[in-house]
């Protein structure tokens, strides 16, 4: 079953509409919940009057901060109150730090009554000074958001490798840039929705969409002050995630209301509520300076990265850790000096989003690489081949990558399958002809990247699977218990394929039990491109043991296995020395664009993506991931512009925050799927879902430069920005 494009096990139900998503599920006697959010970016709530809301006919309850038993949550740092306001004994929970904070929760007989009631809640705020710029937030006199983070600095990572002075003295050329990346909204198909109720065993249960049922369970039982076994989390179908469902949205308040009222409670966020109230991809400002010898070897690289975490950490300290590693690209450089900061501001919190800090790092690194190629008069593929990490190369953190380093093969495959040919020992670019219309300019760009598979920097990685073999003389049914979330990427189909392969039965005999804390053990999150790798190894381990028991005549034969990959280590605080990750995926992209120099529109004509996936367990799902990542990254690079004014999002609608539609996607995407096994991966598989996102934005900026001669160091490259910058260079007046 490995290598088969098996039809997805969830396909039929989804295309017929029969599959329930969280918002589709109803229980008898259910009530409706609505959240009231902050009206200020930074303020102390001195009073909250809920009497008018409570008096509205049909309102069943109003919950405020005083009602939350342990009023704090957060995936990595519990720095956010569940509900902000007076009356909670959690220090600092009377303060709102962002418009995203929740200040009250209404439960009513209908959604409409709940919506009306939240507006009747009277909140008295005492404004506090606010800060919205990430560098201003680091100043000594800036307002402080959290007592234990002086200068609003959540994390500061350092990399100190080699001798910078010696490096700069060897450099024949030096390129410098300041790179700015914007927010990105996940824009998953289904806005947040869920249902809290008390199950048949008296557990407070939440049906919701997320990325890790057991993590949601932990966040809920912590806030409710309950023992873990009193809380259950179930995912039905999930309408996309991309990192945006890693943190809590409706989970805790649904559980709180259902627990207090002992009745089912439901909520469905509107698209506007979703855009306003879940975290975003981090805007970052990156200062970068690289030097190279005239034959193209990078000899020194220096960078300073600042990421706007917004008002709470979410996964910021982990995201910035990734950027710190990736901001110097997949290159072996002897002399490196990097400082990376995650900074609290009163903006919307930022966190996980496909690539997890990698895209911002790659945007700067690959632009630097392409500028170096230009400064040296070298081909961009040629210069990369002189610098890419190889087997045994040392990372900036002083340790080699895990075995199976394939970035050289990936770069070459991408070049050969796109616009380059190799001849006379060098790489040559073949540009397609320019269009006749003088307003349209075509160009080619190249970029590459790497991305970790799995949780980094010492996080205890693991994944549980249970395999049950039922039958008599023959195995008649295989039950696999594996909690891993299918957020739409097709993970469950791959679990079934891997189970069939590991046990040696046809897929028809495999039944998957998943997405339920009451029926499975933890799998870790569907994130960090880790789920195929981690669950595959767990399924293989469990299958091997179950088959042994089957041999020993046990009926049913049941085995549970916990896969633990090799340990990783955190950054050394002064030098950054570490073994950051146990596996990586490698990717390269070549892009052809057409720039309309009159209107500033960029049309992506073609993307060639070479991605080493180790082994393609389901090849069709692999190309689906590549195409999806490219479209999403195209939105990030040229369209998606989330505007925040003093912490308030100005365009929380898909009519004003524009994501690619079918009319915007590249005319052609060519997926070049390499299968160079990862020695640690199940059947050799590497993670691959984030990788194709990573180099696209810098490949597009390189192509736009090739077309116009102008470098864009800021994304998104919306038409207004493109026109303005081209005019500054005297381009576009026909």
Nearer to ligand MOS, 354 or 441 (CB): 354
CB of 487 to ligand MOS, least distance (A): 9
Nearer to ligand MOS, 34 or 354 (CB): 354
Interaction residues for ligand MOS, span 318-377 (CB under 6 A) = 352-354, 356
- Count Cα atoms within 13 angstroms, Cβ side, for 375: 22
Nearer to ligand MOS, 121 or 233 (CB): 233
CB of 358 to ligand MOS, least distance (A): 9
CB of 316 to ligand MOS, least distance (A): 12
308, β-bridge pairs: 343
CB of 186 to ligand MOS, least distance (A): 9
Contact predicate 102/35, CB 8 Å: yes
Q: Return the closest-CA partner of residue 452 out of 586, 362, 356, 583.
A: 583
Site string for ligand MOS, 606-635 (x = CB under 6 A): ------------------------------
Nearer to ligand MOS, 315 or 517 (CB): 315
- Taking CA atoms, 438 is separated from 276, 443, 594, 717, in Å, by 42, 14, 11, 21
Which of 81, 209, 243, 692 touches ligand MOS by CB under 6 A? 243
- Total number of residues that touch ligand MOS (CB under 6 A): 9
CB of 547 to ligand MOS, least distance (A): 33
- Taking CA atoms, 358 is separated from 355, 362, 547, 584, in Å, by 5, 6, 40, 12
Nearer to ligand MOS, 300 or 642 (CB): 642
Nearer to ligand MOS, 352 or 700 (CB): 352
Contact predicate 389/723, CB 8 Å: no
CB of 703 to ligand MOS, least distance (A): 26
Nearer to ligand MOS, 307 or 732 (CB): 307
Burial of 637 (0-12, 13-18, 19+ CB in 10 A): buried
User: Is 209 a binder of ligand MOS (CB under 6 A)?
Assistant: no
User: Under 8 Å CB-to-CB from 450, ≥6 apart: which residues?
Assistant: 326, 330, 389, 407, 584, 585, 586, 587, 691, 694
What is the full DSSP assignment across 434-454?
PPSSTTEEEEEEEEEEEEESS
Q: Return the closest-CA partner of residue 695 out of 590, 613, 584, 623.
A: 590
Contact predicate 159/578, CB 8 Å: no
Contact predicate 360/693, CB 8 Å: no
What is the chain's alpha carbon radius of gyration, rounded to the nearest angstrom?
Answer: 26
Tokens of 253: 């308040």
Three-state DSSP state, 418: coil
CB of 155 to ligand MOS, least distance (A): 17
CB of 292 to ligand MOS, least distance (A): 32
Nearer to ligand MOS, 281 or 441 (CB): 281
Which of 246, 379, 461, 594 touches ligand MOS by CB under 6 A? 246
CB of 437 to ligand MOS, least distance (A): 40
CB of 245 to ligand MOS, least distance (A): 8
Burial of 440 (0-12, 13-18, 19+ CB in 10 A): middle
Site string for ligand MOS, 509-528 (x = CB under 6 A): ------------------xx
Q: Return the closest-CA partner of residue 649 out of 6, 7, 132.
A: 132
Nearer to ligand MOS, 277 or 451 (CB): 451
Interaction residues for ligand MOS, span 518-577 (CB under 6 A) = 527-528
Residues of the shown chain interacting with ligand MOS in the complex, contacts defined by CB under 6 A: 211, 243, 246, 352-354, 356, 527-528
């Amino acid at each position: 079953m490995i290598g088969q494009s098996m039809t997805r096990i969830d396909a039929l139900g989804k295309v017929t509409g029969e599959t329930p998503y969280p918002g589709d599920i109803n229980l008898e006697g259910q009530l409706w919940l609505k959240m009231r959010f902050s009206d200020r970016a930074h303020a102390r709530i001195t009073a909250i009057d809920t009497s008018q809301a409570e008096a509205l006919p049909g309102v069943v309850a109003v919950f405020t901060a005083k009602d939350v038993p342990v009023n704090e949550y957060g995936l990595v740092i519990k720095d956010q109150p569940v509900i902000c306001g007076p009356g909670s004994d959690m220090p600092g929970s009377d303060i709102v730090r962002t418009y995203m904070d929740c200040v009250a929760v209404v439960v009513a007989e209908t959604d409409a009554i709940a919506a009306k009631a939240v507006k009747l809640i009277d909140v008295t705020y005492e404004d506090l000074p606010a800060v919205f710029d990430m560098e201003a937030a680091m100043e000594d006199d800036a307002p402080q958001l959290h007592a234990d983070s002086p200068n609003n600095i959540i994390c500061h990572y350092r990399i100190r490798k080699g001798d910078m002075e010696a490096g700069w003295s060897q450099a024949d050329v030096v390129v410098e840039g300041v790179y700015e990346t914007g927010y990105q909204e996940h824009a998953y198909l289904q806005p947040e929705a869920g249902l809290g109720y008390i199950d048949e065993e008296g557990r407070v249960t939440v049906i919701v969409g997320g990325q890790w049922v057991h993590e949601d369970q932990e966040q809920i039982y912590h806030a409710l002050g309950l023992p873990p076994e009193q809380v259950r989390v179930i995912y039905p179908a999930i309408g996309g995630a991309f990192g945006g469902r890693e943190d809590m949205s409706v989970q805790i308040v649904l559980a709180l209301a259902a627990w207090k009222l002992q009745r089912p409670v439901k909520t469905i966020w509107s698209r506007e509520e979703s855009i306003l109230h879940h975290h975003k991809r981090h805007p970052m400002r990156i200062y970068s300076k690289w030097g190279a010898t005239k034959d193209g070897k990078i000899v020194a690289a220096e960078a300073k990265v600042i990421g706007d975490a917004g008002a709470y950490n979410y996964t910021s300290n982990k995201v910035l850790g990734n950027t710190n590693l990736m901001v110097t690209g997949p290159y072996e450089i002897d002399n490196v000096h990097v400082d990376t900061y995650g900074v609290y501001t009163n903006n919307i919190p930022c966190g996980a989003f496909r690539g997890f800090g990698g895209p911002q790092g790659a945007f700067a690194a690959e632009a630097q690489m392409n500028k170096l190629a230009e400064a040296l008069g070298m081909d961009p593929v040629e210069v990369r081949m002189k610098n890419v990490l190889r087997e045994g190369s040392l990372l900036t953190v002083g340790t080699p990558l895990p075995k199976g380093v394939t970035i050289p093969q990936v770069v070459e495959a991408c070049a050969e399958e796109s616009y380059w040919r190799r001849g006379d020992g060098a790489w040559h670019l073949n540009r397609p002809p320019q269009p006749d219309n003088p307003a349209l300019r075509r160009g080619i760009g190249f970029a590459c990247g790497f991305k970790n598979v799995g949780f980094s920097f010492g996080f205890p990685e693991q994944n549980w699977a249970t395999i049950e073999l039922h039958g008599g003389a023959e195995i008649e049914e295989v039950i696999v218990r594996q909690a891993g979330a299918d957020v739409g990427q097709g993970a469950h189909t791959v679990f079934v394929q891997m189970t069939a392969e590991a046990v040696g039965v046809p897929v028809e005999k495999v039944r998957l039990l998943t997405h339920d804390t009451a029926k499975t053990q933890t799998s870790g999150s569907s994130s960090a491109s880790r789920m195929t790798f981690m669950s595959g190894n767990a399924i293989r381990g469990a299958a091997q043991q179950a088959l042994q028991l089957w041999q020993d005549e046990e009926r049913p034969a049941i085995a549970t296995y916990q896969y633990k990959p090799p340990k990783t280590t955190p950054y050394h605080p002064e030098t950054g020395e570490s073994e950051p990750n146990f596996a990586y995926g490698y990717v390269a992209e070549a892009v052809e664009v057409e720039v309309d120099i009159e209107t500033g529109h960029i049309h992506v004509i073609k993307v060639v993506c070479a991605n080493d996936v180790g082994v393609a367990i389901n090849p069709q799902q692999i190309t689906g991931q590549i195409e999806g990542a490219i479209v999403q990254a195209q939105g990030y690079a040229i369209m998606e512009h989330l505007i925040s004014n003093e912490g308030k999002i100005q365009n929380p609608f898909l009519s004003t925050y524009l994501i690619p539609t079918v009319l915007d996607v590249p005319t052609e995407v060519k997926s070049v799927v390499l299968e160079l096994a990862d020695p640690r991966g199940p059947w050799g598989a590497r993670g691959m879902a984030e990788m194709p996102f990573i180099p696209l934005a810098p490949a597009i900026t390189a192509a736009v430069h090739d077309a116009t001669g102008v470098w864009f160091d800021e994304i998104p490259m919306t038409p207004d920005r493109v026109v303005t910058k081209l005019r500054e260079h005297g381009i576009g007046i026909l």
